[in-house]
């Protein structure tokens, strides 16, 4: 499959070249970052970081490459560094594909070193000062960053001083990302949702490499993915909810008040979410069966839902992010689509597919969502998040 040379490449020839680094560059997500960034119109891979086992080797000797395209020649001989801030100091953006068992400390250290970290790891998703951004849904949550920078003071300055360039932005879990895009489209068109039932059928690539043993999944389904249901149920609320401001007593003991931003977790209109997650023998592409109940009565018809989904345009696209899909949501009319094998690579996997929109006898409407978990569900989201951050001036070239 081609993840290269989209037409957008040519539209941005005059863009400044922006040096970026990749943490966890030898892992599954790191390899995807490399494939995607090696043909990116703005971002230029400058530094690769991985575990100390790999550090010092040329990338091609450190990696067990599992992509369907060869290692980009521009990257093959790059040295791999330890995941410490020093070699990354000139990177305007650092993408993190680190495993969660090490991501916490490393990403914090990079932020403290005034680096802008766009992370695919789960560690900071629940942090009240870290935005959890699906770029086609809630890039406005970048507005929490100044508060994050005030909380995490620059450790190298003499007087306590907020960070000026360092921060962490996370993207969502792959199964959350797929389903939340059409859900956001529905809320935008028809107001708040009230209840959601989601059953997922998730690809093996979502578990990384070596990941799922073949003896566990060939001719089989595993009806359980550790922590996954909780992620969908919680992340949905943080992403779809807004940001509110509260006046609280200042921490400096002055008796003054200060304004604090807070993710409202959709509390203004409570939303109940129930997820059931399954691993299936599919290589790429998460399929999700969704049933929704709207707060508004009467609810929209299936046809209205179909139209709203097809019409949805993300801010990432409006801003001109080069990696954003032309069509955020492809609505299928055939009775048996979307299907992972046939639909996962459309638009290089940057959009999502919805089909089978129909009445639900219990809730209002039910439908099927397919998203590419290794593209929009992972590395592509981090990259579009960084693109948005540049276009909004949150990061300077």
Q: Which of 3, 286, 321, 332 is flagged as catalytic?
A: 286
Q: What is the Cα gyration radius of the chain? A: 21
The residue to which tokens 């579009």 are assigned? 384
Q: Tell me the C-alpha distance between 378 and 50, whole Å.
A: 18
Choice between 113 and 273, CB closer to its own copies: 273
In 3-state terms, what secondary structure has residue 119?
strand
- Shortest distance in whole angstroms from residue 368 CB to its own copies: 4
- Where on the chain is the footprint of its own copies (CB under 8 A)? 1-2, 4-5, 66-70, 195-197, 199, 201, 204-205, 209-224, 226, 233, 272-274, 276, 278, 280-283, 287, 289, 291, 335-343, 345-346, 355-356, 360-363, 366, 368
Choice between 162 and 281, CB closer to its own copies: 281
93-96 and 116-119 beta bridge pairing: parallel
- Shortest distance in whole angstroms from residue 232 CB to its own copies: 11
Q: Which of 174, 266, 277, 332 is flagged as catalytic?
A: 174
Q: How is residue 313 annotated by DSSP?
A: -
| Displacement of CA 267 from its chain's centroid (Å) | 23
174 has catalytic annotation: yes
Tokens at residue 18, please? 């922006």
Choice between 310 and 345, CB closer to its own copies: 345
Residues 6 or more apart whose Cβ sits within 8 Å of residue 231: 122, 125, 173, 175, 176
Tokens at residue 230, please? 């909780």
Choice between 112 and 237, CB closer to its own copies: 237
Identify the H or E element spanning 45.
Answer: strand 43-50
Q: Tell me the C-alpha distance between 79 and 55, whole Å.
A: 7
Strand partners, 96: 23, 119
Q: Tell me the C-alpha distance between 44 and 61, whole Å.
A: 21
Residues 6 or more apart whose Cβ sits within 8 Å of residue 249: 255, 256, 257, 258
Choice between 159 and 215, CB closer to its own copies: 215
- Shortest distance in whole angstroms from residue 208 CB to its own copies: 9
CA angle, residues 378, 355, 294, in degrees to nearest 5: 90
Choice between 24 and 131, CB closer to its own copies: 24
91 has catalytic annotation: no
Active site residues: 174, 286
């Amino acid at each position: 499959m081609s993840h290269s040379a989209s037409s957008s490449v040519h539209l941005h020839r005059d863009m400044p070249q922006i040096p970026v680094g990749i943490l966890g560059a030898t892992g599954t997500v790191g390899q995807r970052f490399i494939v995607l960034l090696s043909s990116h119109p703005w971002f230029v891979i400058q530094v690769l970081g991985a575990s100390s086992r790999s550090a010092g080797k040329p990338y091609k000797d450190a990696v067990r490459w599992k992509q369907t395209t060869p290692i980009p020649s521009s990257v093959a001989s790059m040295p791999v560094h330890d995941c410490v801030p020093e070699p990354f100091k000139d990177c305007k953006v650092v993408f993190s594909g680190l495993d969660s068992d090490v991501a916490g400390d490393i990403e914090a250290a990079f932020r403290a070193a005034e680096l802008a970290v766009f992370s695919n790891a789960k560690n900071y998703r629940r942090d009240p000062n870290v935005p959890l951004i699906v770029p086609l849904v809630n890039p406005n949550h970048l507005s929490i960053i100044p508060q994050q920078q005030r909380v995490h003071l620059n450790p190298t300055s003499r007087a306590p001083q907020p960070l000026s360039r360092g921060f962490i932005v996370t993207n969502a879990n792959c199964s959350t990302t797929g389903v939340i895009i059409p859900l956001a489209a529905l809320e935008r068109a028809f107001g708040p949702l009230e209840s959601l039932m989601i059953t997922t059928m998730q690809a093996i690539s979502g578990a990384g490499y070596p990941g799922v043993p073949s003896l566990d999944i060939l001719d089989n389904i595993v009806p359980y993915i550790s922590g996954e249901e909780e992620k969908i149920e919680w992340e949905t609320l943080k992403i779809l909810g807004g940001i509110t401001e509260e006046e609280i007593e200042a921490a400096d003991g002055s008796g003054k008040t200060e304004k604090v931003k807070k993710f409202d977790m959709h509390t203004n209109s409570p939303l109940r979410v129930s997820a059931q997650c399954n691993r299936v023998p599919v290589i790429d592409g998460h399929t999700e069966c969704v049933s929704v109940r709207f707060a508004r009565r009467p609810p929209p018809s299936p046809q209205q839902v179909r139209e709203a989904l097809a019409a949805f345009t993300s801010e990432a696209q409006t801003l001109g992010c080069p990696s954003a899909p032309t069509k955020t949501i492809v609505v299928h009319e055939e009775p048996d689509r979307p299907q992972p094998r046939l639909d996962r690579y459309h638009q290089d996997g940057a959009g999502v597919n919805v089909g089978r929109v129909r009445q639900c006898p219990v809730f209002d409407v039910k439908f099927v969502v397919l998203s590419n978990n290794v593209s929009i569900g992972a590395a592509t989201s981090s990259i579009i998040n960084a693109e948005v951050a540049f276009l909004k001036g949150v990061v300077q070239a």
